[in-house]
Amino acid sequence: MDRLHKAMDFCIRHQTVLGNSVVSLLTAGSEYIFSSVVFKCPCNSGNMLYGSFFLLGPAFVLLLLGYMVNARIWRLLTGQCSPEERCKRGPWGTCAHFCQLLVPTTAKALVAPLTWIAVALLGAHFYECAASGSSLAKHFFCRDNGTECESQLFKMPCDEKLSAEISSKSLSLQAQSQLIGWFLIASVMTATLISRCKSHCCTSVSYLQLKFWKIYSEKEHELFEIKAKEHAAKLAERNTNCFFEATDPAPFHTPSNEDWQEISILYTFNSREQYYSMIHKYVSTNRDKSTRFKKEGQDNTGLELAGAAQTS
């Protein structure tokens, strides 16, 4: 049991890295199946279109899926196009808010597409088919060999001997694809490292406080799911019983639309207001308001009693 708890804690602490790793492995497996079973280069003038579609088409589909399964983008886009929200923000405010949302969301959604492209380039099947039909390949391989070389260039992906013969004096298409693949991997890793260093360097939160913030966010999300299910079940049970038994509904408190809107906004940490989420800010702000109103009410009551005593 102790080992199981340790394994669960490890998965929770590193769920982002593990999730990206699982997505990358599944994408790599899918690419291998596509390249070995589905993909068949036509070896004619359609090489460019066919190879490019298999190289970039699934990556685009994976990017769209990354957007669709990301709860962050749906949370922030909900209601942004309503007339009331447009009047509040204005056209430039909505555009700036959308761009601010799109950058981190796209970074997460690009894990699977970039994995597909990188693995496909290392395998070289799609690139070899697409490049054999491009004008750049004709200029690279056949600038001194006449039109016969250009006609044979289409058949390179289907004939290993012909491919070795044409590319014997220059870098082969497979080698080009693998070099581009490794360059893409190195570029993505470098960009990721730089962005993480910049985010940690420019943050106003210390390392341990940032760690606490992440733990708090995970626990709050977990408890919110539990409480939301319990609250929804009680409300559904009350309404269902009233419907079938024809009784008056008992009083039941449910957050208003304004309350839901207030806690649905994405919270960014502010050193002046030490809140860790919008729920934390909402609860603390309402508590301060209720305390202030309560004190004001007590003061007003005291003044009324004093005035009544003086009158008597």
Cβ-based neighbours of 152, under 8 Å, separated by 6 or more: 162, 166
pLDDT at residue 185, rounded to an integer: 93
The reported pLDDT for the residue numbered 312 is: 41
Distance CA 113, CA 235 (A): 43
pLDDT at 154 over 70: yes
* Inter-CA distances, 118 with 22, 37, 67, 157, Å: 16, 19, 20, 19
- Token readout for 90 is 């204005």
Give me the pLDDT at residue 87, please.
53
> Taking 50 as the threshold, does the pLDDT of residue 248 lie above it?
yes
Number of helical (H) and strand (E) elements in the chain, helices listed first: 14, 0
Which three-class secondary structure state does DSSP give residue 190? helix
Question: Which two tokens mark 307?
Answer: 């005035």
Longest alpha-carbon distance in the chain: 118
The Cα 159–Cα 153 span in angstroms is 10
What the block records as the tokens of 183 is: 């360059």
Greatest mean pLDDT among 6-20, 124-138, 153-167 lies in: 124-138
Structure tokens at 113: 């597409």
Contact (CB, 8 A) for 267 and 278: yes
Mean pLDDT of the chain: 78
Give the span between the Cα atoms of 83 and 258, in whole angstroms. 16
> What 8-state DSSP symbol labels residue 156?
G
Distance, CA of 16 to CA of 11 (rounded, Å) = 9
Residue 303 token pair = 């003044």
pLDDT digits (tens, 9 = 90+) for 176-232: 899 999 999 999 999 989 988 988 888 778 888 888 888 898 899 999 999 999 999
Q: What pTM did the predictor assign? A: 0.73
| Beta bridge pairs of residue 270 | 273
Q: Over 60: is that where the pLDDT of 135 sits? A: yes
Unique residue bearing structure tokens 């004093």: 306
Q: How many CA atoms lie within 13 A of 160 on its CB side?
A: 1
In angstroms, rounded to a whole number, what is the distance separating the alpha carbons of residues 185 and 154?
A: 29
What 8-state DSSP symbol labels residue 299? H
Rg of the chain's alpha carbons, rounded to an integer? 30
Beta bridge partners of 273: 270
Q: Which of 15-19, 37-41, 205-209, 247-251 has the lowest mean pLDDT?
A: 15-19
pLDDT of residue 114: 92
Q: Report the alpha-carbon angle 196-197-199, nearest 5.
A: 65
How high is the pLDDT of residue 29? 80
